[in-house]
Amino acid sequence: MNKEAIYERIAAILQETFEIDADRITPEARLYDDLDIDSIDAVDLIVQLKPWVGKRLNADAFKSVRTVQDVVDALHRLVNDAASPA
């Protein structure tokens, strides 16, 4: 799963679930300050990403995210780390 696909999925969830205008969603957009995503909304976002990724997502991995790109990077890392052989 590449970062572009992850970004597109996150943008779609933000638009559909949180009714955020597509023009406001950019990689640099800050979740709390720019998009009004609070901690409960962030959990909802993770819950919606879980079935798409097909595995459990650890909320701790998302504690330091501040922007949409941070979410993309964290998710990309989780997916690729899990896919890598140990």
CA distance 27 to 7: 8
Write down the pTM of the prediction. Answer: 0.86
CA distance 2 to 59: 21
Q: Which range, of 31-40, 50-59, 60-69, 72-81, averages the lowest pLDDT?
A: 50-59
Domains of the chain: 3-83 (1.10.1200.10)
CA distance 31 to 53: 21
Which pLDDT tens digit goes with each residue over 53-70?
A: 877 777 777 888 999 999
